[in-house]
Chain A
């Protein structure tokens, strides 16, 4: 079974500092990886995704993530955070094999609360 581990439940960081949110997955087959963001009192929004190709993926709001197959990781990074980046971030995974016509199963991690301090 697929699983996702987000090691840090809370990450406080000062404004304009860099940040890395860690995500590790367990799967012996091909994976598709996602980062979602949840702003206060809102639903989740897709930040970025890795399906294939380049291992460095760029998303919205200046975030990027790198897929590392040997370390089974998909860490999220931003070189300089803003107050408005304060939110909860979820890593998620879909693994193959996918049967034709069957529902893809998206498994979420436990989330990381990023708090940007002034």
Chain B
């Protein structure tokens, strides 16, 4: 089954404690992306990747890091989380990331709370 898998589903942590949210896709997609969803703001893009070792900032990259060492994985790293990073995070992927009619596949989300 084609899917984007995120882990963990829920995460509670404290300020300053480094954490990683994993994202994996089994569709051989080149394009992967991270979004955060906040009430009243919709989804905002954090980082995206067009292929292995190619990453770029989205609209709200501050406080986040990503890496793309393998095609299937695109982890989101918070080196020193702060309470304003409490949010619902989504990973997404698509074939190339360049075509307007490409379907974007989303993971089920990670609810992060930073105390």
Please report B residues at the A interface, Cβ cutoff 8 Å. 4, 31, 35, 40-45, 48, 50, 56, 90, 92, 97-109
Contact = CB atoms under 8 A, between A and B. Distances in A.
Interface of A: 4, 6, 9, 32, 41-46, 49, 51, 90, 94, 98, 100-106, 108-111
Contacts of A9: 40
A110 B42 CA distance: 4
A43 B42 contact: no
Q: Report whether over half of chain A's contact residues are helix, strand or loop; otherwise say mixed.
A: loop
A46 B50 contact: no
A65 B64 CA distance: 36
Given A4-B42, A98-B98, 15 more contacts: A9-B40, A42-B108, A42-B109, A43-B92, A43-B108, A44-B43, A44-B104, A44-B106, A49-B101, A51-B100, A90-B42, A103-B50, A106-B45, A108-B43, A110-B40
B109 A43 contact: yes
B98 A103 contact: yes
Given A43-B109, A108-B43, A110-B40, A101 B104 contact: no
Contacts of A111: 42
A104 B98 contact: yes
A46 B104 contact: yes
B100 A98 contact: yes
Contacts of A49: 101
